[in-house]
A and B are shown apart, each in its own frame.
Chain A
Amino acid sequence: MREIIRLALTLFMIGLTSAALLTGVNNWTGPIIEERRKSDYLETIASYFPDVESFETKAEENGDSFDLIYDSAGNLLGVMGTILQGGYGGVITYNLAVDTEGIILGLRIISHSETPGIGDVITRESFLAQFIGKSHEDPLQPGEDVDLVSGATESTGSIIGSVRRSVGHIATSYLDFQAEIFDITVVPDGTFQGVAAGGQGDIVVEVVVEGGRLVEIKVLEQKETPTMFVLSYPIIPERMIAEQKLEVDVSTGATASAEGIVNAVRNALEKAIEEGEGEQR
């Protein structure tokens, strides 16, 4: 018994000494680290907004944060987002600078764990520069106005998708741009099918509209990863029916599937409107 107590006491003393030493070092280095992070970040802001005087941070539930940048007169210069996005190898964190017109001033990858030599093309100037000058009104779709890097489709595609969502989010939430709202009331009654790309191939949906209202949304076909798909179905259709609009919050943890469902519904309703107009003529 005495032996056990002696052993425990020795270990306890060693642990205590270690903790005391580490506390000391932490008290010394902690403020330096904090200071450096802050000045690094201010420098990044200043590289996009040279007149920056102060900023106000808005943290969001999903881990992203957005800083409203002001000059010395208190005028809003733009928004700087610090955004987390799942890539191929892990979470990619990047800064996105958007001016008051909703135009992208630039973006910078802060940290990532994509495959060295393959997925890390996302840090290349040539890839990032293609976003500069694009606005929240641009499609920002791979192959349309921005390019994927072949061999690193997953890494570059996730950045493109994230930039598209984030710049839209900044424009509507922080810059007072009205989100374009799809008018459901002009859709004729009936049952319509639509299709759009999800995370892993096409998603086919069936939408029932009665009296200008969404009544039912069913997914008929999809090839999504099952564990991911359950995160966005049926929650996304339920949200759309409850709010009676297509522009619902798609951050579910399976954003690609969620966006796919929303786009497929949009596709169905757009086709329905076109067909309706055709009949009237």
Chain B
Amino acid sequence: MKQEMVDRIKNDPDFLQLTRVRSKFAWTLTIVMLVIYFGFVLVIAFDPSLLGTPLSEGSVTTVGIPVGVGVIISAFILTGIYVRRANGEFDELTAKIKAKAKGE
């Protein structure tokens, strides 16, 4: 990439918008995932009996089962949320930036 193109793109407001919004979005989701997972792990480390509590009076199923499956499903949902926004909004912005970089 030529330096003048670098300078042009880096000052393009669309590019600034893209990188700012996306990086905030990606970091937020990363932190959500880290909190969910390490929260789960820390409960196991510090208070494992919490997950061993029966779901309701007299049931064998413990709180840990829906929580564990919930962690798996949350991973899938978080990727879905990211892909939906990135393949729509972010890719439209990227296309605009690319068009300007090539066109002008």
Partners in one complex: no
Could you list which residues of chain B lie within 8 angstroms of chain A, going by C-beta atoms?
none
Could you list which residues of chain A lie within 8 angstroms of chain B, going by C-beta atoms?
none
